[in-house]
Amino acid sequence: MGHVRAEIVATGTELLLGQKVNENARYLSEILADLGIAVRQHVVVGDDAASIDAALTAALARSELVVTTGGLGPTEADLTRERVAAVTGRPLVLHRPSLEAITSLFARIGRPMPESNRKQALCPEGAVVIPNPLGTAPGAIVETGGRMIVMLPGPPAELRAMVEQTVAPFLAERLQQAGQRSVIRSRVLRLVGIGESAAMARIADLAGGDNPTLSPMATGGEVWLRITARAACRRDADTLIDTVEEAVRPRLGDHIYGRDAETLEAVVGRVLAARRQTLAVAESCTGGLVAHRLTSVPGSSAYFERGLVVYSNRSKTELADVAPELLARHGAVSAEVAGAMAEGVRRSAGTDFGLAITGIAGPGGGTEAKPVGLVFFGLAGGGPTLTDSRMFPGDRKAVKLLASNRALELLWRRLRD
Amino acid sequence: MGHVRAEIVATGTELLLGQKVNENARYLSEILADLGIAVRQHVVVGDDAASIDAALTAALARSELVVTTGGLGPTEADLTRERVAAVTGRPLVLHRPSLEAITSLFARIGRPMPESNRKQALCPEGAVVIPNPLGTAPGAIVETGGRMIVMLPGPPAELRAMVEQTVAPFLAERLQQAGQRSVIRSRVLRLVGIGESAAMARIADLAGGDNPTLSPMATGGEVWLRITARAACRRDADTLIDTVEEAVRPRLGDHIYGRDAETLEAVVGRVLAARRQTLAVAESCTGGLVAHRLTSVPGSSAYFERGLVVYSNRSKTELADVAPELLARHGAVSAEVAGAMAEGVRRSAGTDFGLAITGIAGPGGGTEAKPVGLVFFGLAGGGPTLTDSRMFPGDRKAVKLLASNRALELLWRRLRD
């Protein structure tokens, strides 16, 4: 494997019907670029043998590495195992450890293993099996005539776990053995509280370079800046990236909360855990999303004491200790109630911080004075109680997401200051 | 254009670097399926002439319709116009109305037109130009030897506007002229509480058909069955689909909760709203995810009264009224505590139903007796209090998601019975 070129072959009728976007190809492209492997083509074909065979044959003729996604399930429509076996001329053989893993997965969840799942333990003879820590479909690496086929399942969580645990380390070692000298590295700076064009306006003069490159991406109400560099080794590439990051920070540091895969909830959680401080939240319009994000971080039980989803006015009074007069005077969607909710949940939970959100997620419930998208925030603890408001665009899901970002951003800023 | 097959050829290095997902291909696939055009392949290639030529030539050899996306900008890397001209043997000619449109767009924003934008007004001789209402890059439709190439720009908003205003009506008229009477329709049956292979085992004899087809998809801990039919008109296609659904229902009806875009939380919410019943939830390991899902449904404030995220033992006692002795005797992760949480939250909220979840989401906190993935459920109201448990595979996020599915499933079953 000298200067490796790769292709990604996805199978799945749902992709061709437009029911699902090919996120796996995007993810794999990013991972392969990080390894210095140039991806030259993505192909999507349906679940039929002729199309899969043609795509595999064409890809193997052009490129050293072919990664397949999908088609490793237990059903008749899952053809990747047998098509790779046919195209490479390797018989399918039973891989006993995989069969045991599948059997024990079913045993663990207390269900009988359907007979059809047995075929998931088949793999082309001589292949390296890729364990699947999250599902029944193992993958495989098949080497044939100087080419390599990596077979991965379609569910993104399974695919990612297998790439991180097995495929990426395997490829990295191979590339090193083969003496590949150039690597592509990239780093994401994650920003909150600023839009894409406002962020780019501050760093326009830094964005024209060829190596490293600096490019923005707007996603989930956040802006991510990706810095990518190619160099002889990891360290050299990272040094190039450091230089760009050092130029960006003085201009955008106030918005950069993390790097790469770090989420805002993980960054906030890390600070709370390190300081042995605790947090409780009271949510109205976000409806549990802030608590869900905070508790998605492993170890969050160390600092997250409780969450209240106070949808009704009665629950705001009973649980978050908001005076009925305050609700009557200012309405549930107000800075006064947001502040009272934050103080109330902090007091009843006995935590260091209380964070509160109340607003109108829509589509109904808006008025001229308080339109859909208007959200108030309260933060108690670590200083005087703070209130804040924002008008968010978009539908119910967007308003919930953007409001949860803003709530976590307020907490992040207070923890930082 | 009789029975049309299509392919989508996207150009763009950013797609091959994993910086962008190929959402245009998903969107176009959906639009083409609605027109009765079967998409057989997606391809992504980089911005180089040889790759684009090879992809175009291969696609034209297989399919009647080739849609390209990207490569219509003003830069050196934008090659689609010239490559389509080369592959179809048509010279590029200046399209005066396009040049005027581009010039006046720059005049409107008060900037001089860079010389490089002039090339965007070129198109292959004899092509139908597709106006771009949102940007400088017009598209084009080139017909050649019984084949058709539709060229569209990369920015999704521009592409969509051009498809809606020009391309879709153009294709619909062509199909009608050619006497194509056929449409493709599809319907999804959404299942909960059963695995993909177990579901397919019950309907294996129904899944072999060619038209309609019946195929499963496992997603987010659910199984979806997609029925797709081709027929002369919508009604005939829907009748074919009905026939399959009627055959599936007796065998899997116990697990089918909805169709197409209906979520489990929306189905549960619709029943509660119709009966004017109310719900409160108490969550430990799901950490607010069940409340978040329930409150993502517009109008959920009519039936969702409150949610408690009782992460600490103290909050379980204070908020969900779980006796400390019960916690001490059985542990927080137990059927007894799940049942007490459900009854406690129902009582304090004064709702018709109380739903509770407590378990070990991991990665830490597991023991031999209570391993990571073990989750208990409680449901109070509408009958005797019910408790239930499950062992879920996967990481923290997977356990949270699967547990939220099971909790909503239990409520759905009780509402149905």
Question: Are residues A29 and B18, on separate chains, in Cβ contact within 8 Å?
Answer: yes
Q: What is the mean pLDDT of chain A?
A: 93
Radius of gyration for chain A, computed over Cα atoms and rounded to the nearest angstrom: 26
Q: Go through the domains of chain A in sequence order and give each one's CATH number.
A: 5-177 (3.40.980.10), 183-259 (3.30.70.2860), 264-416 (3.90.950.20)
B183-191 and A256-259 beta bridge pairing: unpaired
Tokens found for residue A395:
């539908």
Question: Are residues A287 and B292, on separate chains, in Cβ contact within 8 Å?
Answer: yes
Min mean pLDDT across A145-154, B13-22, B140-149, B261-270 is at B13-22
Average pLDDT over residues B318-332: 95
pLDDT: which is higher, B257 or A107: B257
Chosen from A312, A333, A404, A408 to mutate, greatest number of chain B CBs within 10 A:
A312
How far is Cα A178 from Cα B146, in angstroms, rounded to an integer? 48
- Quick check: B115 and B77 in contact, CB under 8 A? no
B122-124 and B213-219 beta bridge pairing: unpaired
A16-43 per-position pLDDT tens digit: 988 899 999 999 998 998 788 889 999 9
Ramachandran category for residue A306: left, alpha or beta (phi over 0 → left; psi -120 to 50 → alpha): beta
- Quick check: B379 and B414 in contact, CB under 8 A? yes
Say if residue A162's pLDDT is above 60.
yes
Question: Are residues A26 and B21, on separate chains, in Cβ contact within 8 Å?
Answer: yes
Average pLDDT over residues A391-403: 90
pLDDT of residue B305: 96
pLDDT tier, A181 (very low <50, low <70, confident <90, very high otherwise) = low
Question: Are residues A39 and B17, on separate chains, in Cβ contact within 8 Å?
Answer: yes
Say if residue B108's pLDDT is above 80.
no
**Smallest Cα distance from B97 to chain A, Å:** 31
**Smallest Cα distance from B296 to chain A, Å:** 6
Amino acid at the residue B302 = A
A182-238 per-position pLDDT tens digit: 777 888 899 999 887 788 889 988 987 888 988 877 777 888 898 988 888 889 999
Of B26, B283, B398, the CB nearest to A18: B26
Q: Which residues of chain B are within 8 Å of residue A78 when distances are taken between CB atoms?
A: none
- Terminal-residue alpha carbon distance, chain B: 51
Question: Are residues A19 and B226, on separate chains, in Cβ contact within 8 Å?
Answer: yes
Question: Are residues A298 and B362, on separate chains, in Cβ contact within 8 Å?
Answer: yes
Q: What is the mean pLDDT of chain B?
A: 93
Tokens found for residue B235:
């009604």
Residue A408 at interface with chain B, using a CB cutoff of 8 Å: no
Farthest-apart Cα atoms in chain B, separation: 85
User: Searching chain A, which residue's CA lies closest to the CA of residue B50?
Assistant: A40
A189-199 per-position pLDDT tens digit: 999 998 877 88
pLDDT of residue A1: 44
Of A19, A117, A306, the CB nearest to B197: A117
Q: Which residues of chain B are within 8 Å of residue A294 when distances are taken between CB atoms?
A: 287-288
pLDDT tier, B181 (very low <50, low <70, confident <90, very high otherwise) = low
B218-245 per-position pLDDT tens digit: 888 899 998 988 888 889 999 999 999 9
Question: Are residues B400 and A20, on separate chains, in Cβ contact within 8 Å?
Answer: no
pLDDT of residue A135: 87
Residue A318's CB is within 10 A of a number of other CB atoms, namely 17
Average pLDDT over residues B71-93: 92
Question: Are residues A108 and B30, on separate chains, in Cβ contact within 8 Å?
Answer: no
pLDDT: which is higher, A114 or B282: B282
How far is Cα A344 from Cα A332, in angstroms, rounded to an integer? 14
pLDDT of residue B75: 79
Q: Which residues of chain B are within 8 Å of residue A365 when distances are taken between CB atoms?
A: 301
Tokens found for residue B330:
């059985």
- Quick check: B347 and B321 in contact, CB under 8 A? yes
Tell me the residues of chain B between 72 and 111 that have a Cβ less than 8 Å away from chain A.
Answer: none
Question: Are residues A400 and B308, on separate chains, in Cβ contact within 8 Å?
Answer: no
- C-alpha pair distances (Å), A345 with each of A307, A322, B72, B349: 8, 9, 55, 17
**pTM of the predicted model as reported, rounded to 2 decimal places:** 0.79
Q: Which residues of chain B are within 8 Å of residue A14 when distances are taken between CB atoms?
A: 217, 226
Tell me the residues of chain A between 376 and 395 that have a Cβ less than 8 Å away from chain B.
Answer: none
Question: Are residues B306 and A310, on separate chains, in Cβ contact within 8 Å?
Answer: yes
Residue A308 at interface with chain B, using a CB cutoff of 8 Å: yes
Average pLDDT over residues B193-211: 90
Say if residue B166's pLDDT is above 80.
yes
**Smallest Cα distance from B27 to chain A, Å:** 6
Say if residue B313's pLDDT is above 70.
yes
Question: Are residues A44 and B42, on separate chains, in Cβ contact within 8 Å?
Answer: yes
B139-144 and B147-152 beta bridge pairing: antiparallel
pLDDT: which is higher, A337 or A180: A337
Say if residue B337's pLDDT is above 50.
yes
Residue B155 at interface with chain A, using a CB cutoff of 8 Å: no
Give me the sheet containing A222-231, strands edge to edge: A213-219, A222-231, A183-191, A256-259
How far is Cα B152 from Cα A27, in angstroms, rounded to an integer? 25
Q: Which residues of chain B are within 8 Å of residue A316 when distances are taken between CB atoms?
A: none
How far is Cα B283 from Cα B396, in angstroms, rounded to an integer? 15
pLDDT of residue B1: 44
- Terminal-residue alpha carbon distance, chain A: 50
Q: Which residues of chain B are within 8 Å of residue A55 when distances are taken between CB atoms?
A: 41
Average pLDDT over residues B140-156: 94
Q: Number of residue pairs across A and B with CB atoms under 8 Å?
A: 288
Say if residue B388's pLDDT is above 70.
yes
Tokens 């891989």 found at: A95
Question: Are residues B295 and A287, on separate chains, in Cβ contact within 8 Å?
Answer: yes
pLDDT of residue B150: 98
Question: Are residues B22 and A31, on separate chains, in Cβ contact within 8 Å?
Answer: no
Q: Which residues of chain B are within 8 Å of residue A156 when distances are taken between CB atoms?
A: none
Min mean pLDDT across A205-214, A367-376, B328-337 is at A205-214
How far is Cα B67 from Cα B167, in angstroms, rounded to an integer? 10
pLDDT of residue B200: 92
pLDDT: which is higher, B230 or B247: B247
Residue B279 at interface with chain A, using a CB cutoff of 8 Å: no
Q: C-alpha angle A18/A24/A27, rounded to 5°? A: 135
Question: Are residues B348 and A318, on separate chains, in Cβ contact within 8 Å?
Answer: yes
Helices (H) and strands (E) in chain A, counts: 15, 17
User: Searching chain B, which residue's CA lies closest to the CA of residue A309?
Assistant: B307
Say if residue A356's pLDDT is above 50.
yes
- Quick check: B325 and B366 in contact, CB under 8 A? no
**DSSP track, A146-184:** TEEEEEE-SSHHHHHHHIIIIIHHHHHHHHHHTT---EE
Min mean pLDDT across A218-227, B56-65, B98-107, B316-325 is at A218-227
Q: What are phi and psi of A151, to 5 degrees?
A: -105, 125
How far is Cα B21 from Cα A44, in angstroms, rounded to an integer? 13
Tokens 């309405």 found at: A331
Tokens found for residue B349:
């909220």
Tokens 């670029």 found at: A33
Question: Are residues B33 and A15, on separate chains, in Cβ contact within 8 Å?
Answer: no
User: Searching chain B, which residue's CA lies closest to the CA of residue A134?
Assistant: B394
Q: Which residues of chain A are within 8 Å of residue B282 when distances are taken between CB atoms?
A: none
Chosen from B187, B217, B333 to mutate, greatest number of chain A CBs within 10 A:
B217
A55-100 per-position pLDDT tens digit: 999 999 999 999 999 999 998 889 999 999 999 999 999 999 999 9
pLDDT of residue B378: 98
Residue A211 at interface with chain B, using a CB cutoff of 8 Å: no
